[in-house]
Each structure stands twice: as structure tokens, then as C-alpha cells.
Amino acid sequence: VLPSEYTDVLKTLQDDVPGFSGKRAKEIISREFGKPCDDIFTDFSEEPLAAASLGQVHTATYKGRKVAIKVQRAGLKELFDVDLKNLKKLAELLDKFDPKTDGADRDWVSIYEESERLLYLEIDYINEAENSVRFSRDFVDVPWVRVPEVYRDVSTPRVLTMEFVESFKLTNIARIEQ
């Protein structure tokens, strides 16, 4: 849809994010569940499988099954709280001072409020789990769609545990064409 010069830059926003340590990931998991990570998972990977701006994915074993554990970066919600508070002030100022000389009837505060709602949903891994389950139900009869099982008993708003499924990035066009 977009030219490669744009998509190449957008890919760096996903791929060039440094991970945090496996030790830190285990601390986050332990805090979320109120007990040591090693009491829940075995064979926890010290190195993340992938890292992104909101969190990273580690592999482990849970009840004899290989799982992928998505761990949210520490302090992310608090960072959102501060940034969104400042953006709301900006939206309020724009509502007061936007001359709307182009004829548009913009409500900057409403735009901000909808964006805020969506951003908080984006960092709620329980919401992501529910979306995954719904997606799985919607595509249950499509043989080429495979959705990993969600382990709700070891998922929280900041930790999402799913069945590990070997895969590749959908941006890998050469692999898709094989």
C-alpha cells in the first residue's frame, strides 16, 4: 500500500527497539503474579525472542507446554499517564485557539479522548487476550489461519501468555511468497 521507502522506515520503529534484560522481565512477571517467575514457568529464556516499544516476548515452559510470554515494559502506563495529561492540555488549548478557517468543525478534546481510550486498550494485555480469543472464534473454519491459545490463568494486564507457535514476520514478503 505504501512505497518501500516509507515501509522501511516504519519497520525500524518495530525492529530497532532495544530489549530489557531477562532478569528484569522475570521481576515484572513476579510482581504481576505475587510469586517468583520460576515458580510459574520453567526454561524461561533470558534473551527476548522479540522486543518492541511496549514490551517484549520471552519463551518458557508452562505445565509442560512451550509458551510465548509477552511482558510489558516497566512503568509504561505511568509514562502514558504523564504524556497523555500533557496532550490533553494541548487539546484544550487547540480547542480555544484553533481558528478553524478551513471550515472544519474539529473538537480537539474529543479527538484526544478517543485516542486516550484506544492507547490504554493497546497496553491492556487482557484486552489483547480477549481480541485473540474472538479472532480465533471468527476464523475457526479457515484452515490456513492459526491463532495461538491464550493461557488466561497466567495472563494479566501487563503479562500475556500464549501457546508458542513457530512463525515469521508478515513483512517478510520473500518468505510469504515461498
> 155 Cβ partners below 8 Å, 6+ apart?
125, 126, 129, 161
**Residue 178 banded pLDDT, cuts 50, 70, 90:** confident
Per-residue pLDDT reduced to its tens digit, 105-116: 789 999 999 999
> 6 Cβ partners below 8 Å, 6+ apart?
none
CA distances from 169 to 14, 26, 56, 62, 117 (A): 11, 25, 15, 24, 28
Per-residue pLDDT reduced to its tens digit, 116-174: 999 999 999 999 999 999 999 999 999 989 999 999 999 999 999 999 998 877 777 88
**Residue 53 banded pLDDT, cuts 50, 70, 90:** confident
The three cell numbers locating residue 178:
515461498
**Residue 13 banded pLDDT, cuts 50, 70, 90:** low
Half-sphere exposure at residue 129, Cβ-oriented, CA atoms within 13 angstroms: 21
**Residue 11 banded pLDDT, cuts 50, 70, 90:** low
57-63 mean pLDDT: 98
The answer to whether residues 136 and 130 touch, using CB atoms and an 8 Å cutoff, is no
Q: Whole-angstrom Cα distance, residue 173 to residue 178?
A: 9
Mean model confidence pLDDT for the chain: 90
